[in-house]
Structure 1
Amino acid sequence: MGTPEQSTADGPTASWADRVAGLAGSCHPGPVVAVTALTAALAVTAGQSAARCLLTAAAVLTGQLSVGWCNDAFDARRDLAAGRRGKPVVDGTVGVTDVWVAAYAALALCVSLSLACGLRAGAVHLTGVAAAWAYDLRLKATVWSWAPYAVGFAALPAFVALALPGQPWPAWWVVTAGALLGVGAHLGDVLPDMRGDAATGVRGWPHRLGPDGTRLLLPVPLVAASAVLVLGPAGPPGRWGPAALAVAGLVAVAGTVLGHRWERAAFAAAVAVAVVDVALLLVRDTGIA
């Protein structure tokens, strides 16, 4: 296995199997799987056919892969400077050129698969993917770092809806909740790496708020998404809606209070609230079909 410097500049000396494993690890597999699974579940609940569900999931999967690989390839030297061991490019498992090739190949597949879902649906999804690439290449170090997350998460339910027969637009509250979930995901994603990012010159919106400000703000967009999902649809919220909203609020407050002593508590609470939001999104009438 090569050194990190060899990996970044000239490509790794690792075996073929190690390089494949390195590519798998450098795509940010957790978010890739989570976002793809959520979109597939939305497609099922919206009433897409089995074939269209597979096409929708494939388009989202390739888009997420392209974004993850772009992120690791572009940040390779910054990650080296911050000493972020455990990343395949930094550890020398896979070369940065290989990761760039994978990113562009996945992006090309994403364009084809997205447009196969329909011109309007494809355009919406590709707008979200383009926003994510803009985050990786530029916006993550600016005060607008939250915007690509908001656009990308809001685009997912719109993509699912526009891929249905008749190309219906989803209800406003579904798109709004998606955008709020995206902002919360951004805050939660940045919080654990904030000090390392700051050391390498990344000054996104959360970095300007600081660790304490980010920790306090983190649950707010997620609880707001819960409120939108409970109160946005027409008619009564049902018996589970107010209970879910109360749980989300209590968990968020607990995470904020405990986060003063244990930083991971705020992040864990935000993840729990996000799970409640996703459950609400799937259980409620999605407003997509």
Structure 2
Amino acid sequence: MGTPEQLTAEGPAVSWAGRVGGLAGSCHPGPVVAVTVLMVALALTAGQSAARCVLTGAAVLTGQLSVGWCNDAFDARRDIEAGRRGKPVVAGTVGVTEVWVAAYAALLLCVPLSFACGLWAGAVHLAGVAAAWAYDLRLKATAWSWAPYALGFAGLPAFVALGLPGQPWPAWWVVTAGALLGIGAHLGDVLPDIRADLAAGVRGWPQRLGRDRALLLLPVPLVAASGVLVLGPAGPPGRWGWAALVVTALMATAGTVLGRRWERLAFASAVAVAMVDVTLLLLRGTGIA
């Protein structure tokens, strides 16, 4: 059948603009942008200076880019065999070697940018990036596939907190909430591809659960994150905190009940709960350390 590089080289030559667009598409731009913007916003609410916010954003961006490109490059063979034309490597707009080069280049940039935020901050962030690479290269097909998501998402707010003046350790509740959000993100990210993954022999944690049980479990870590974000910080939660907790519980319950008949509603309710969690995280940003 030929190598992935040979397969993507067939057909008319692709322009430089097309290859740049292919690289941009193969980095998983949605999650890359969302995570980077969220961390910059959290850095702002936590009290980092403008210059440090830019540095934090650059470190997170390069780390996320490296992970996204690693994922597409490593999965190229399976994606080609499955005919996933939505992937730039499969469509032939960019070659596998180019994606690997971009992944390693972004990773090399991420190292000094992370340590520029502080020794402990850099170590925590790079540990999360390393966990994400481990997921791409090996752990995604094991029962431990949830662990890199939990570690990576827990490390992001910790990275922001450790980047503050004095390098304070992050509050327990923000790390716990981050880990729970990561587990929820893992379930939501894998759900659409569970059947295809099983056919390809990928048996991560959600695949072992099966689509129905994974869909049922999806809102649980997200609602748990809501509880931690509302009840974890010092002081009373206040009316808005209790209201947010009630709303997320109701949305999750409705999604679980109605999702048995209308699957998309279950996923939509989980996304809504995750958005509430992100809002709570930003509102609580001043107390993350």
- Normalising by structure 1, report the TM-score: 0.96
Verify the 8 A CA contact 1:190 1:206 in the aligned structure 2: yes
Verify the 8 A CA contact 2:8 2:91 in the aligned structure 1: no
SS of the aligned residue for 2:238 comes to coil
> Are 1:114 and 2:114 matched, yes or no?
yes
Per-residue CA distance 1:133-188 (angstroms, 9 max, x = gap): 00000000000000000000000111011111110011100000000000000000
Aligned to 1:186: 186
Q: Counterpart amino acid of 1:65? A: L
Verify the 8 A CA contact 2:4 2:77 in the aligned structure 1: no
Aligned to 1:133: 133
Aligned to 2:162: 162
Greater alpha carbon shift after TM alignment, 259-268 vs 126-135:
259-268
What is the percent sequence identity of the aligned residues? 80
Task: Rate the CA distance shift 1:48–1:285 in 2: closer, same or farther, 3 A.
Answer: closer
Aligned to 1:241: 241
Distance 1:92 1:105 in 2: 21
Q: Counterpart amino acid of 1:8? A: E
Q: What is the CA-CA distance between 1:131 and the residue it aligns to?
A: 0.3
Task: Rate the CA distance shift 1:261–1:81 in 2: closer, same or farther, 3 A.
Answer: farther
Q: What is the CA-CA distance between 1:121 and the residue it aligns to?
A: 0.5
Distance 2:37 2:243 in 1: 25
Gaps of 5+ in 2: none
Aligned to 2:177: 177
Verify the 8 A CA contact 1:81 1:200 in the aligned structure 2: no
Aligned to 2:229: 229
SS of the aligned residue for 1:256 comes to helix
Q: What is the CA-CA distance between 1:287 and the residue it aligns to?
A: 2.4
Verify the 8 A CA contact 1:142 1:203 in the aligned structure 2: yes
Count of matched residue pairs: 286
Gaps of 5+ in 1: none
Alignment of 1:204-283 (within 5 A): 204-283=204-283
Structure 1 counterpart of 2:6, from 9, 21, 25: 9
Task: Rate the CA distance shift 1:8–1:197 in 2: closer, same or farther, 3 A.
Answer: farther
Distance 1:179 1:227 in 2: 13
Q: What is the CA-CA distance between 1:83 and the residue it aligns to?
A: 2.0
Task: Rate the CA distance shift 1:20–1:5 in 2: closer, same or farther, 3 A.
Answer: farther
Q: What is the CA-CA distance between 1:6 and the residue it aligns to?
A: 7.4
Distance 1:42 1:267 in 2: 25
SS of the aligned residue for 1:167 comes to coil
Q: Counterpart amino acid of 2:5? A: T
Q: What is the CA-CA distance between 1:190 and the residue it aligns to?
A: 0.2
Q: Counterpart amino acid of 2:93? A: T
Verify the 8 A CA contact 1:11 1:97 in the aligned structure 2: no
Verify the 8 A CA contact 2:26 2:87 in the aligned structure 1: yes
